Structure 1
Amino acid sequence: MPRSGAEARRRLQQAALELYREQGFDRTTAAEIAARAGVNERTFFRHFPDKREVLFDGEADLRAALTQAVAEAPAPLQPLDTLLWAFRKAGRILEDNRPFSEPRLAVIAVTPALRERELAKHASLIEAVAEALRQRDVPDRLAGLAAQTGWAAFHHAAQAWIDDPARSLDAHLSRAFDDLRALSGTAQEAKYAARAD
């Protein structure tokens, strides 16, 4: 029996992930997760409101780390550079949880209900990042666009890191943001070329 709340929570998360991988999300119940973790079903619901939320428990920590990192980024940085700086700092959460992150993403990828929850969580995180940029006096329109674009680059880098663990998450982040800048430069060149025609 887990002795602490934190230990029970960790065991519930691990049990849920194992069961989701073995028999699928839809066929797994909260009672089965609790039994696998060695706790009762009431303990499960004391920690998680539903069986989807077990896989999204770190969202609040990631949100807090990202918004704090945006706030603490060096003042002269432009919005996308601020986000790269913040994602590098917050990315340590993913690195510390890699053994859970990799199979978690695989389960989400094949489960529509979890993909839907993931999209809702991402939208909430993007809005939190946009608000953190607004607090740095980034205009509203640019803050929203930077947050969405930056999050897409972060998500792309995280998936690349899962697929290619030989390189660090930081290296994948740098590459994703370099690619983003290259795309932006290409778009700018095309705009000038169109005007010249």
Structure 2
Amino acid sequence: MVASTRRRLVDSAMALFAEQGFESTSVEDVVARAGVGRTTFFRHFPTKEDVVFPDHDALLEKVDARLATGTAATARTALEEASAIVLDHYLDEGETARQRYRLTRAVTPLRHRELASVHRYELLFSRHLRAWLGDADDAPLRAELTAGAVITAHNHVLRRWLRGEVDDPQAALAAALDLALAPLAPTPDPRRLGAREVDAVLAEVRRSLLGG
């Protein structure tokens, strides 16, 4: 019953935002459409903005739980599966996700709220990466770079799906993560490489930079 009421509030709010705009829609409008009282609304959502992002906290917890099972040896799999949890959630939302995308593009406070949520994901990924990478001098930097790359890869694919530009978002995410997770590979020490190996490493770097 609680879940169905919460869902009805979200659906009613999103429909009204699409019909008459976010700023022009009041909490009273939403509860009237949903057939519940104001008290019920505020039991589920502290503000009108929160109804636009109803699942962020729960989703963040799911991602955290998945990353918590990772290790240095399984880091790549953990990052891929954690990213997939988020993408699959949006895919399951379907049109609601697309409505949210349109709203956050049009309403500045909602856009700021979305950016704050993205930052929370980046901090979460970075924290787990930092633990996996150990005490190497470059571990903090690699953790931040990799976390940022993973979030960027995910959001790039998600936005393309929201705009109807990709038919297979799961496959697109896998391809994007192949690029994003390159910093996890051990960095060769040039002092231990011969001329041929140095040339091979440089060629690989060039290919990565050029997208080859």
* TM-score category (smaller protein): 0.7 to 0.9
Matches within 5 A, 1:33-182: 33-73=30-70, 75-77=72-74, 82-137=78-133, 139-164=139-164, 167-180=167-180
Structure 2 stretches lacking a partner, 5+ long: 183-201, 208-212
Letter in structure 2 aligned against 1:131 = R
The answer on whether the counterparts of 1:153 and 1:173 sit within 8 Å (CA) in structure 2 is: yes
1-side partners of 2:133 and 2:114: how far apart?
29
CA deviation string 1:77-127 (max 9, x = no partner)? 455x64223212443222222232112111111111110111111111211
Task: State the shift of 1:181 in Å.
Answer: 6.7
Structure 1 stretches lacking a partner, 5+ long: 191-197
2-side partners of 1:97 and 1:126: how far apart?
22
The change in CA–CA distance for 1:23 and 1:37 in structure 2 (over 3 A counts) is same
Task: State the shift of 1:140 in Å.
Answer: 2.6
Letter in structure 1 aligned against 2:16 = L
Structure number with larger C-alpha Rg: 2
TM-score by length of 2: 0.76
The change in CA–CA distance for 1:165 and 1:39 in structure 2 (over 3 A counts) is farther
- The percentage of aligned residue pairs carrying the same residue is 29
1-side partners of 2:157 and 2:70: how far apart?
20
Range with bigger deviation, 120-129 or 134-143: 134-143
Task: State the shift of 1:175 in Å.
Answer: 2.7
Range with bigger deviation, 4-13 or 127-136: 127-136
Range with bigger deviation, 91-100 or 110-119: 91-100
The answer on whether the counterparts of 1:130 and 1:144 sit within 8 Å (CA) in structure 2 is: yes
2-side partners of 1:48 and 1:142: how far apart?
37
Task: State the shift of 1:28 in Å.
Answer: 1.0
SS at match of 1:148: helix
The answer on whether the counterparts of 2:129 and 2:143 sit within 8 Å (CA) in structure 1 is: yes
Task: State the shift of 1:143 in Å.
Answer: 1.8
- Equivalent residue for 1:26? 23
1-side partners of 2:204 and 2:47: how far apart?
44
SS at match of 2:113: helix
TM-score by length of 1: 0.81
2-side partners of 1:120 and 1:89: how far apart?
19
2-side partners of 1:188 and 1:181: how far apart?
14
2-side partners of 1:159 and 1:132: how far apart?
25
2-side partners of 1:39 and 1:134: how far apart?
46
